[in-house]
Structure 1
Amino acid sequence: KGKTALVTGAAFGIGSETARVLARDGAVVVCLDIPANQAALTQFASNIGGHAIALDLMADNAVNELIQTLTSQLGVLDIVIHNAGITRDKTLRKMSAEQWDAVMHLNLEKIISINQALLEKGALNRDARIVGVSSISGIAGNFGQTNYACSKGGLAGYTRALSKELPNGITVNAVAPGFIETRMTSKVPLIAREMGRRSNAFSQGGLPLDVAEVIAYLSQPASQSLNGNVLRVCGQSLLGR
């Protein structure tokens, strides 16, 4: 209660469910998503008593624009959830440089840039919480997702490294979801979707709420002892074991 949170990729899926849970628990949530989703984003943010920022994080000046908006209108943040991400699936032999670069740029490089800017500008409150959304694809790899797996594996390593450098009791952790039923996974070919669903102890896909509740716990003051962890939310998936 009384905390201010930023959730990127908040219009749909894990992002919107995370924003909803944080608002349920008392936070004021800044919901960020791309301009193409502005109508849905604005309506959703209004429904949870939050704020909407329509911004394409892929843009060159996006980080500066984001930090300026946050610091001028909200002051400092208590919680930062890095959920925004994309896929550009191809086997490595068929993958273009643009497909590789786009995924790495948004899924990893922008997260690093945002965190660095927040720290440099003093825009994180004492005992702030940073949570990134990685993936078990970043732990186990996945066919046709070399770029995605690299970005999510990189995020896991970055989380562990950053945890040793943060000041003032700020913590950083990551969650690594397994197969979750979202708009992104609905685009996965049918056979691959069924394999993802059946590879865990429940033989079914997880829900965005499963991930959101874990993120919310890592965002709470009670999670102070957790720092530098990458927590699987996968229903005991066999992948990466």
Structure 2
Amino acid sequence: MTDRYQGFVASPVGKFLVKNLGLPSPVRLERYREGAPLVDGTVLVGGTGRLVDQLPDVLDSLGIATALRRDDDATYKGLVLDATGLTDASELHALRDFFTPVLRSLDTCPHVVVLGTPPEATGSIAERVAQRALEGFTRSLGKEIGRGGTVQLVYVAPGAEQSVDSTLAFFLSPKSAYVSGQVVRVGSTGATQAEPVADLARPLAGKVALVTGASRGIGEQIARVLHRDGATVVGVDVPQAANELVALVKELDGDHIALDITAADAPQRIAHHLREKHGGVDVVVHNAGITRDKKLANMKEDRWDSVLAVNLTAPERITAELLQQGVVNPNGRIVGVASIAGIAGNVGQTNYAASKAGVIGFVDALAPTLADGITVNAVAPGFIITQMTAAVPFATREVGQRLNAMAQGGLPVDVAETIAWYASPGSTAVNGNVVRVCGQMMLGA
């Protein structure tokens, strides 16, 4: 699917109307291309704190060029500020001092990361205040930066300083093209040390990934991106979608299970298949989901029950079975697909929003209980352009696409890339997070 408005504003007439009427002018986002460098340009590094001395070496190991001093004649593709050294509010001027002189020197589609200390892990009230202030700063800068840029805050827990590689690789690269204004915690829950990644281009080589709802849309792109990263993909979908599912996994040299995930024996059948055919599973992506929209006053019982069963109860049951039987391998990954609707709500979607908020609760509850380096995280997509959203009425669709900092809808690959970051063996210290893939929606998120 294409964004016709984005094509229109690039035309001579569109440019004239945008300039004179103040219409949204979305920048065509740069997305990652297989084989391309993570960052096509230079990243400026600054700040004071626990990470600044190691950052040049970390970025160099990722193939990212860095600069430690600002050059008035240079342009930058990314900025990283270590703000872990800020211990009281009076030191917050360091944010203005670093960013203000360089913001006009940013290239198109730049990526900005601020590193902080989790407020709950600080040593004083004053330090906690300063570190919490970073959230308002980064979210506001995300709405100011323009030109297709993104801004993120990464809280790095003490002891997790050596586990930021995969997160910096994701947030500084075009893989995070439609992710902005997010707050991520590294090392706050569970393990603080990440497993080394032998091959940055194929971090999932030798791994097995289960993807539900894999036959089309977002699920198909998740399967494709995990395969690109080296995983053997086991796709799951309902028997009615078996033809599409089989064609996909054949193309990806993967495997498939055709079943209804809400069936009473579905968890046991999935666990048996993964154990017997693959010796276990390394990545579990609960992507399958449905909508049955109606205002609550008109909501029939079957509409309510079916949405909760597919979107929430099935992931709970499948995960519990896989963990209980020990089918999830050490350093495994469990990923849920939530939604902005579960955070902000949506008219006519009380059932859907409840199910997706439940996915967030699932992550919150499960994350502290996991062992052996297993993690659980979630993505919360906003308006993603798919065949399903193409059926939304034009006016509603336009509002959904424009009401974010990037003034455009996302693509299924944006969700898939975020899941691939979670799935990386290098993301062991990334646990218990919910990241919105929404272009930084202006309301409710």
- Give the stretch that moved more between structures: 69-78 or 157-166: 69-78
Alignment partner of 1:64 is 2:268: yes
Aligned to 2:376: 172
Q: Please, which of 89, 101, 120 is the counterpart of residue 293 of structure 2?
A: 89
CA distance 1:56–1:196, shift in 2 (3 Å): same
5+ long unaligned stretches in structure 2: 1-204
**What amino acid sits opposite 2:224 in the alignment?**
R
Partners of 2:347 and 2:388 in 1: CA distance: 16
| DSSP-derived class of the 2:332 partner | strand
Counting aligned pairs with the same residue, the percent is: 53
Q: TM-score, normalised by structure 2?
A: 0.53
Structure with greater Cα Rg: 2
Aligned to 1:153: 357
**Is the CA contact 1:136–1:239 (under 8 Å) kept in the aligned structure 2?**
no
Aligned to 1:8: 212
Partners of 2:418 and 2:281 in 1: CA distance: 19
Partners of 1:93 and 1:168 in 2: CA distance: 46
Aligned to 2:441: 237
Partners of 1:53 and 1:149 in 2: CA distance: 28
Aligned to 1:215: 419
**Is the CA contact 1:162–1:172 (under 8 Å) kept in the aligned structure 2?**
yes
Alignment partner of 1:36 is 2:249: no
Q: Please, which of 249, 252, 260 is the counterpart of residue 45 of structure 1?
A: 249
Q: What is the deviation of 1:217?
A: 0.6
- Between 1 and 2, higher relative CO (CA 8 Å, sep ≥ 6) is seen in 1
Q: Please, which of 186, 202, 208 is the counterpart of residue 390 of structure 2?
A: 186
Q: Please, which of 119, 132, 156 is the counterpart of residue 336 of structure 2?
A: 132
| DSSP-derived class of the 2:335 partner | strand
Q: What is the deviation of 1:69?
A: 1.7
Q: What is the deviation of 1:107?
A: 0.4
**What amino acid sits opposite 2:265 in the alignment?**
N
Q: What is the deviation of 1:58?
A: 2.3
Q: Please, which of 306, 311, 318 is the counterpart of residue 114 of structure 1?
A: 318
Q: What is the deviation of 1:236?
A: 0.8
Q: What is the deviation of 1:64?
A: 1.8
Partners of 2:372 and 2:390 in 1: CA distance: 41
Alignment partner of 1:200 is 2:419: no
Partners of 2:327 and 2:282 in 1: CA distance: 9
| DSSP-derived class of the 2:368 partner | coil
Q: CA RMSD in A?
A: 1.0
| DSSP-derived class of the 1:167 partner | coil
Q: What is the deviation of 1:202?
A: 2.0
| DSSP-derived class of the 1:211 partner | helix
Alignment partner of 1:143 is 2:347: yes
| DSSP-derived class of the 2:429 partner | coil
- Give the stretch that moved more between structures: 85-94 or 54-63: 54-63
Q: What is the deviation of 1:198?
A: 1.0
Deviations 1:22-50 (A, max 9, x none): 10110000011111111111011011111
**Is the CA contact 1:129–1:218 (under 8 Å) kept in the aligned structure 2?**
yes
**Is the CA contact 2:376–2:431 (under 8 Å) kept in the aligned structure 1?**
yes
5+ long unaligned stretches in structure 1: none
**Is the CA contact 2:379–2:435 (under 8 Å) kept in the aligned structure 1?**
yes
**What amino acid sits opposite 1:14 in the alignment?**
I
Partners of 1:49 and 1:150 in 2: CA distance: 36
Partners of 2:267 and 2:398 in 1: CA distance: 38
Q: What is the deviation of 1:223?
A: 1.0
**What amino acid sits opposite 1:90 in the alignment?**
K
Q: What is the deviation of 1:169?
A: 1.1
| DSSP-derived class of the 1:164 partner | helix
| DSSP-derived class of the 1:157 partner | helix
Partners of 2:295 and 2:428 in 1: CA distance: 40
Q: What is the deviation of 1:141?
A: 0.3
| DSSP-derived class of the 2:390 partner | helix
**Is the CA contact 2:267–2:322 (under 8 Å) kept in the aligned structure 1?**
no
Alignment partner of 1:102 is 2:339: no
Partners of 1:194 and 1:226 in 2: CA distance: 34
Partners of 1:173 and 1:221 in 2: CA distance: 14
Partners of 1:232 and 1:121 in 2: CA distance: 31
Question: Which aligned runs of 4 or more in structure 1 are off by greater than 3 angstroms?
Answer: none
In the comparison of the two structures, how many residue pairs are matched?
241
Q: What is the deviation of 1:160?
A: 1.1
